[in-house]
Structure 1
Amino acid sequence: MGVGLTPTEKKFLADPVQFNSSYRSKLYYRISKKVLASV
């Protein structure tokens, strides 16, 4: 899967709990956009 995730995004995927909910949804949105764009 050739998605260019930043270290922060990778950390988020590994452990979402350490991020607060608003930041989590923002990161999740960004990641899903990248994933969709790479498909």
Structure 2
Amino acid sequence: MGVGLTPTEKKFLADPAQFNSSYRSKLYYRISKKVLAS
């Protein structure tokens, strides 16, 4: 997945459990937008 993710987004994908749920959904939304745009 070469979509120019930030280190935070990469960390999120590796271990979502370390983020709280509201931040998780925000990150997930950002990532999915990037993935769809690519």
Question: TM-score, length-normalised on structure 1?
Answer: 0.93
What percentage of aligned pairs have identical amino acids?
Answer: 97
Q: Which has the higher contact order (CA 8 A, sep 6+)?
A: 1
- For structure 2, the residue ranges without an aligned partner over 5 or more in a row are none
TM-score, with length taken from structure 2:
0.95
Q: Which runs of 5+ in 1 are unaligned?
A: none
Q: How many residues align?
A: 38
Runs of 4+ in 1 over 3 A off after TM superposition: none
